[in-house]
Chains A and B, each alone.
Chain A
Amino acid sequence: MEGKQVEVVDVINRKMKKLAIVIIMILPVLNVFAQGGEQKPDSVYKNRVLESTEIDILTSYYSQDGDNAAVSGGIGTEKLTDFTPTIVISVPLNEDDVLTLDAGISSYTSASSSNINPFDGDQPADPFQASSGASRADLYTNITGSYSHSSDDRNRIWSAKLSFSNEFDYSSFGFGGSYAWLFNEKNTELSINGNVYLDQWKLLYPIELRSFAGQAGDDEDEDEDDDRIPWEKLTGNTPYNPSFTGFNDESRNSYSLGLGFSQILSKRVQGSLSLDMVRQNGLLSTPYHRIYFADKDGSYIENFRLADDVERLPDTRTKVAIGGRLNFFLNEIFTARTYYRYYTDDWGIGSHTASIEIPVKLSGKFTLYPSYRFYQQTAADYFAAYEQHLSTEAYYTSDYDLSKFRSNQYGIGITYTDILTKARLWKFNLKSVDLKFHRYERNSSFKANMVSFGVKFVMDDL
């Protein structure tokens, strides 16, 4: 197990090194464009949209646990840890244009992925025990490039972006664009954005169902022995013979359209309203989320019940979210940032989100960020708990992320800001450091903790 983790860390190190080399090679080239804008003898003076290259190095560590894992049909450990280093580089190409590259590698270990095959560990299979086999850890990589252009009067901004992400069973390609229009002496802003994501599954069913779907019973990069199911230990309903058919569609496409409106309300108050509409189609079920029916007798190996089927959800979903922010500058020390969102979709889920953050300026350089967030949602029409679904239903899921629940989230953060960017590291001047901690609790056994860290540098001209 430790060997696998060391291997994953090595892979991250190698990938981050490669990324750093590519970035160092690209920066001088981009800087030529940036300086080209300055050297135009007859150019009209304009404030640059971005004065100089900025680099954000961001990292987060996330851990969660609970007793309602979807991979084991609504019971079992939801243990997951995730470490995500990310780098964001914004380069001013000239006075008006900014290119941003955003790349991250996420290393995670999860019961969700490990219990796709609960029989490859060195302990008896059990939904409340994450398998220690090779499938427990993996990497998620993503890269996004975006380009923005501002008009001379800075009242019109358009941008375009491309993104790609990949993990062991899923890849996503996305593109999109946005347009913003400021008017009323920049007191009012209207914006519109659209995004398309074309995603692809690699169908990975629970290990015991693969032979019924025509898949070989092995995972990539693993010995076949690791995946061998100890059928000799089968108890309960024998022989195990689920009526299982695999999915035909491996794609999942998402199309989103967003509208935004922001308004300065006074010298101390400003707010925004946003509306997002999303249409998804394709395989919206997760192929390795097990389902156990109330009207079927269970088959067991060790302490693990073998799946009767996998989650089945409709192949379309329409989501609508409307959100509003109101920020108040209370005085030189306190600011209040408030947010509310209403969400609904055609799977029967409705939700309310409300949050408040009160930045407290401790000094010219340090700001404290206490925050609180409340969230509640209704259950999807297709949700039922462990062994509550009937095999006669058309759609079913026991994923508690689609159940009815409430959550409270408490946060605290601190930011160090150096306006004069005095601290230097080679050609990088430190601008700010952020550290945040969040504690998330559902009204169930589910709990999560997250630490986020970010450093922003401003770069000298090369």
Chain B
Amino acid sequence: MKKKAILLIMVSAFLGSCTAVKEYEKVNLNDPDMALATKKVDRFEMNFQAYREAASGANGGKTGGGCGCN
């Protein structure tokens, strides 16, 4: 139930956006810290998490390939 509620809130937030933000209004969104992708230096952190935890994917990191068993 909790999971469904979280999902519903996230989907509602996305669907709630009706008005497009114009290019000249994107100055804050274009801030490098607002990027939805992760920074290159964060790859090492994501790699060790993928190796040490069972979960992977849906974060821009690797989803397969390589052993990671050491």
Contacts and interface: CB of A to CB of B under 8 A. Distances in A.
Given A187-B21, A340-B6, A436-B41, A271 B58 contact: no
Interface string B1-20: 00100100010011011001
Contacts of B28: 267-268, 329
Given A265-B17, A275-B58, A340-B6, A256 B40 contact: no
Interface residues of A, number: 97
Interface in B35-62: 35-36, 39-45, 48-49, 51-60
A171 to B, nearest CB: 9
A199 B69 CA distance: 13
A450 B41 CA distance: 12
Interface in A279-293: 280, 286, 289
Contacts of A84: 44
A163 B36 contact: no
Nearest to A184: B20
Given A264-B21, A276-B58, A172 B66 contact: yes
A214 B36 CA distance: 51
A97 B66 CA distance: 28
Interface stretch (A54-62, A232-240, A387-395, A421-429): A54-62
Interface string A354-395: 000001000000010000000101001000000000000000
Contact of B14 (A199, A255, A273): A273
Q: Is the interface of A mostly helix, strand, loop or mixed?
A: strand
B58 A343 contact: yes
Contacts of B17: 187, 263-266
B21 to A, nearest CB: 5
B56 A452 contact: no
Contacts of B49: 375
Contact of A113 (B22, B45, B58, B70): B70
A270 B42 contact: no
A53 interface: no
B31 A276 contact: no
Contacts of A266: 17, 21
Contacts of A343: 54-58
Interface in A220-260: 254-256, 258
The list of the 10 closest CB pairs from A to B, nearest first, reads: A254-B64, A323-B58, A276-B57, A197-B65, A321-B57, A343-B55, A454-B41, A321-B58, A60-B44, A170-B67
Given A84-B44, A263-B14, 6 more contacts: A110-B70, A170-B67, A267-B28, A321-B55, A343-B58, A349-B54
Interface of B: 3, 6, 10, 13-14, 16-17, 20-23, 25-26, 28-29, 31-36, 39-45, 48-49, 51-60, 63-67, 69-70
19 contacts: A62-B44, A88-B40, A110-B70, A112-B70, A169-B67, A174-B64, A187-B17, A197-B65, A258-B57, A263-B17, A268-B29, A274-B58, A278-B57, A321-B59, A340-B10, A375-B49, A380-B54, A411-B45, A453-B41
